[in-house]
Structure 1
Amino acid sequence: MKTLVLGSTGMVGANVVSQLNEKGESPRLLARNPEKTRTVLSEQGLDSAGFEIMTGDITAPESLKVAMEGIELVYHCAGLPEQWFKDPDVFQRVNHQGTRNVMNAALESGVSRVVYTSTIDVFQGKTGERYDEDILDPAPKGTYYERSKQDADVAAVEALKQGLDVVFTHPAGLYGPGPAGSPGSNNFIADLINGRVPMLLPGGFPLVFSEDCAWAHIEAARSAPTGARYILSDDFYSLKDLALLVQRLVPDAKIPPTMPLWFAKLFSAAGELKAKITGKAPMLPAGQLHFLLWQAIPDAGRAKRELNWEVTPTLEGLEATIGHLKKKGLVK
């Protein structure tokens, strides 16, 4: 099956490409920066000469149409996972309109299936309670990122109703092997080991190991029914509990005190105000704090039942992650 991967330099896409390669497949890659794509492939031990790399962007519809010529399967892993940009409209341009462009191009090109990397953030869940794939939150969420992913989900559903075979994956917070510089939990793990976390933030988030996440994407492409949704999540951890797990593997890692909630809110608000003046990212974006304080617990039971998805134990995943970070020279 001729395959196209969008977002191959991100945490999910890079692992999808690597695992497809292990299966003997060399997917076509759409890249805004082909040289960066070649570098990421090289970092993964892959020969870029074995891949067809096309220049383009999900915000450029014509490039998508060209990239999808002859393609049967698309992994749409592209998007912006960050929580702050000087121009917040970029979330809508990339995450929402970019996804709409992908779906339209897939419809026009006769693509057989699209596996779309969404997020757990589109679901309705109450703090401290478990939730599954059954209820999409009908109300606009509290951050630019979340709202852009909600709108992107709507675009994918519209394409589904028009006859496109779409499968949805909904990853939790990613950690594990992946391209250097990818936003996510790896930064926290590295900073903690390197002694660069003066205080822990309140709250926490659910995790998913990057290699497990990619495996589920590939299996969903193979076996999931049209329109299926799969939460991909291991377990929920407070930042303190996550730090304690890291310390079990790196005993020299220090566990900082946890920042009081009132101070975290004040610090975030002040940082956002300063960011509007300076144009530089705040140390604690409001969106990041919002996510940490949600503290609803995603249930990945459907993926385990229908995809036979197996989750890497967190301590084992953290050990692999720390080894990866050491190999990249990101931790001492």
Structure 2
Amino acid sequence: MRVLVTGATGKVGGAVVRAALEAGHQVRVLVRDPARVPGLPRPVEVVVGDVTDPATLPAAVAGTEIVFNAMGVPEQWLPDAAEFDRVNVAGSDNVARAAARAGVRRLVHTSTIDVFDAPPGGRFDETALAAAPKGTPYERSKQRAERAVLAAAGGMQVVIVNPATVYGFPPYGPTSMESRMFRPALRGLLPAVPPGGFGLVFTEGLARGHLAAAHAGRPGARYILSDAHVGLRELTAAVVVAGGRGRPPVVTIPAVAASVLAAGGEAVARLTRRPPPLARGQLHYLRWNAIPDATRARTELGWEPTPLAEGLRRTLAELDRA
């Protein structure tokens, strides 16, 4: 079938493109920057446009049966927090409205586990949708994006995928976990890590989950995709083992010190317009440290998590080539 993938030059969208091509689908991608087209897998059909510009979307959605809305701003800090709503919320709303008008049968929307609620360190599943606005601009934008897509759908089926923290294949931006944690750990240059942990999901397994949601997901349902929950020291130790080199951190930064560092880093970032080493929103997420339960995806979609050792092995092989 013919499918459209937004965010195709990003980590999640790129993985969905690869998985869709492997599954034999005809893949169209919406690309904002034509200069990034050569880096896309082949064969894909390219439409140049922007989710924040509704006029560019009809050509992208026309004739497609499934739309994977995998675009979004994944950062926890931006110089202008309004950008979260402009892209994550308004952009998703634009995509959903254009798809519905074009008669698209189903839209698979990439959200996040941040839209759920649980006590710090607690366990949660899809029934734990947060009723109140979450604590960071990024989280609130993802909450609003879900509501916008569902409201704009009309008769179109919408399935929501809620990934844990994504790691795996490129791109590896300067704020990515691979650049900020994996590479320094492999070089023995990561003496300390912030407190807390998170759920993780490997890009290629996440993409298979998107395709499973397109095929078997219940309209209106959410599906958590998470391979495992790990603490930061546990994760970096596993990276060192998988890479066969480097040194894991020996210190966890105390929570109070981490909060001071995050606040100071953001103060500097507001002047430099460059991301801080540790954003307050990121620390908030790490200290939440809640455990995602992917039982629904495994039961209803037949999705299987990627073992952490396998995901790290494949990630580090790609990281060495990048």
User: Structure 1 length normalisation: TM-score?
Assistant: 0.92
Q: Output the CA distance in 2 between the equivalents of 1:180 and 1:286.
A: 21
Q: Output the CA distance in 2 between the equivalents of 1:149 and 1:13.
A: 17
Q: Output the CA distance in 2 between the equivalents of 1:199 and 1:182.
A: 19
Q: Output the CA distance in 2 between the equivalents of 1:183 and 1:153.
A: 25
Q: Output the CA distance in 1 between the equivalents of 2:210 and 2:281.
A: 26
Q: CA RMSD in A?
A: 1.5
1:87 aligned residue: 80
2:313 is the counterpart of 1:302: no
- 2:280 is matched with which residue: 260, 274, 286? 286
1:234 aligned residue: 227
Amino acid across the alignment from 2:290: A
Amino acid across the alignment from 1:181: G
1:31 aligned residue: 31
Q: Output the CA distance in 1 between the equivalents of 2:267 and 2:286.
A: 20
Q: What is the percent sequence identity of the aligned residues?
A: 44
Q: Where does structure 1 lack aligned partners over 5 or more consecutive residues?
A: none
* Contact 1:189–1:246 (Cα < 8 Å) also in 2: yes
* Contact 1:34–1:54 (Cα < 8 Å) also in 2: no
Name the SS for the 2:30 alignment partner.
Answer: strand
Name the SS for the 1:27 alignment partner.
Answer: strand
* Contact 1:8–1:37 (Cα < 8 Å) also in 2: no
Amino acid across the alignment from 1:318: L
Amino acid across the alignment from 1:285: A
Name the SS for the 1:29 alignment partner.
Answer: strand
Q: Output the CA distance in 1 between the equivalents of 2:268 and 2:176.
A: 24
Is 270-279 or 209-218 further displaced after alignment?
270-279
Name the SS for the 1:71 alignment partner.
Answer: coil
- 1:250 is matched with which residue: 243, 258, 275? 243
Q: Output the CA distance in 2 between the equivalents of 1:252 and 1:317.
A: 17
**How many corresponding residue pairs?**
320
Is 192-201 or 213-222 further displaced after alignment?
192-201
- 1:318 is matched with which residue: 308, 312, 320? 312
Kindly report which structure 2 residues correspond to 1:53-72, keeping only aligned pairs within 5 A, or say none: 53-72=46-65
- 2:169 is matched with which residue: 169, 177, 191? 177
Amino acid across the alignment from 1:199: A
Q: Output the CA distance in 2 between the equivalents of 1:25 and 1:302.
A: 25
Give how far 1:157 is off: 2.1
Give how far 1:53 is off: 0.5
Q: Where does structure 2 lack aligned partners over 5 or more consecutive residues?
A: none
Give how far 1:260 is off: 1.4
Is 182-191 or 170-179 further displaced after alignment?
182-191
User: Structure 2 length normalisation: TM-score?
Assistant: 0.95
Q: In structure 2, do the counterparts of structure 1 residues 183 and 279 end up closer, same or farther at CA, with 3 Å as the change threshold?
A: closer
Q: In structure 2, do the counterparts of structure 1 residues 209 and 247 end up closer, same or farther at CA, with 3 Å as the change threshold?
A: same
2:260 aligned residue: 266
